[in-house]
A and B are shown apart, each in its own frame.
Chain A
């Protein structure tokens, strides 16, 4: 049984997330963590917008917050997000990775270590290589990996960089990703 989904995306990510999050039901059984590169900008208005379209609970991740299923946690701008062993959230102001804070690699790596084979990792459209090493780490610990098909992604570099260094369980066009997440979440 899966416990969590991690999603990473940068350029084109607003649209990509809008094609996924609103499909999750109110009682979606897993916790979802999202790293969206947004530079120094705030993401409040995007989160508000997404909330209006979605049934699942959406919020910004807070330091030491206890992880609950059926909740989508966004990394706050300018902070990395990590998963603690006691299933709480840690934030960090560590240096940028791939010019990014939050970094997808940081979230994916710590989620891989904590959730192991109970994790689904998803890498979407984006303009840099952040997330490739992270999704490889998820695969190393037997999590399920999904990469957006670079053919249909708004920006191909991010998904293509992952595919270069690992073989994802699924390479899917954007419009099929939410269906796959829901299907996996209903296993067992």
Chain B
């Protein structure tokens, strides 16, 4: 067997941490504690598309070419979302969380890692149907400014409308999804009454600190992209940001199990990953 058969893979494992360090030093975006398997997959694909022979050659490019960095940032950010994604989560939220929220005179909500915003608007629709939206202030954050701009507009292509409708119905929607948008030029635009309760802002979970004190945090399908250390750090950030008895909603395949603060939260719905901060 060729002894150098795996040399390229061994080199890649050396080069990737150096590459991420270079991005951090140069641009301040910190991917060093992201899951290695994800980062490797994305960088290998960018390397193939850009016809680079090594990660090191790509590092040279990223240090000297800002526009190349911007496209890499796109590769490394997590932008998959849809309206009422995981409808079962929303129906559980209606049952388990909404009654509690009703007891608050004013509700502050942080949707962390909102990407293009579909799930934020979904939450706003749900809160509107429960007559709570008027009492809410929703902060929706992401580190990727391009996706935030899309989120702010609240305009989406109609190609996924069928899926959105199905999700809305499965989530226990009380009206029709079409009550909340208008169709124009092959796009759907979400209603102003929703967007006026949402503030979209640039925030990086990895490098920024507490955003605001809130009663509810949603951060779904973001933590799976982080390593254990970073997961612990971000959950601690959420813990610090939550008011006493505040709620934390994670993605269906994410959990607080094995994290340092597991015992500081109570399980509200273990399959939909809804937690409540314990009173200390």
**Could you tell me which A residues sit within 8 Å of B by CB distance?**
62-64, 76, 79, 82-85, 90-95, 106, 109-110, 113, 116-117, 141-142
Contacts and interface: CB of A to CB of B under 8 A. Distances in A.
Given A63-B253, A109-B41, A141 B224 contact: no
Contacts of B221: 93
Contacts of A82: 35, 37-38, 41
Contact of B37 (A62, A90, A116, A117): A90
Contacts of A90: 35, 37-38, 224
Interface string B37-78: 110110000000000000000000000000000000000001
Contact of A76 (B78, B225, B253, B255): B253
B13 to A, nearest CB: 7
Q: Report the interface size class on chain B.
A: 20 to 34
B78 A93 contact: yes
Contacts of A93: 78, 80, 221, 224, 251
B279 interface: no
19 contacts: A62-B253, A76-B253, A79-B253, A83-B37, A90-B37, A90-B38, A92-B225, A93-B80, A93-B221, A93-B224, A94-B38, A94-B78, A109-B41, A110-B37, A113-B9, A116-B6, A116-B9, A142-B1, A142-B5
Which of B9, B38, B225, B228 gathers most chain A CB within 10 Å? B38
Nearest to A64: B228
A63 B224 contact: yes
A109 B5 CA distance: 16
B225 to A, nearest CB: 7
Nearest to B222: A93
B80 A94 contact: yes
A142 B251 CA distance: 36
A113 B38 contact: no
Contacts of A117: 1, 5
B3 to A, nearest CB: 12
